[in-house]
Amino acid sequence: MSPESIESFLALAVGFSFAGLISTFYQLLAQRPASFRLLEQDARMASVAAVPFVVFAAPFMIMRNTLRGRVIQHRRFETVMIATVIAGLWSLMSGTCLIMALEAVATAMT
């Protein structure tokens, strides 16, 4: 495997891991699962503050909703596959952003 492929795989894993971590932490604090409805809150500041959270937690929420929809609503395989690809690409991008941020912090500390 090329170094670029390994780096992309790690970014994908970091993205999914971070999404799962913050979604689970939100569920622990709020006693309800994270959802895209956080963006529809009444308070303008609360909905604006929810944007970064939703951006990084979205892959986990997409996969959770997709897998539940497959079991409960008997969604077709094609729908599940498309949602998985979207969540994977989203996770790849958010994981890349996180890795770049960690590298910037490490560089600034040296």
**104/87 Cα distance (integer angstroms):** 25
**Per this entry, what is the length of the chain?**
110
**16/109 Cα distance (integer angstroms):** 26
pLDDT above 70 coverage of the chain, percent? 100
pLDDT at 54: 93
> How is the chain split into domains, by residue range?
3-109
In this structure, which amino acid lies at residue 54? V
pLDDT above 90 coverage of the chain, percent? 71
The pTM of the full predicted model, rounded to 2 decimals, is 0.86
In this structure, which amino acid lies at residue 65? N
Phi and psi at residue 74, in whole multiples of 5°?
A: 55, 50
The per-residue pLDDT for range 28-58, each reduced to its tens digit, is 999 999 988 888 877 777 778 889 999 999 9
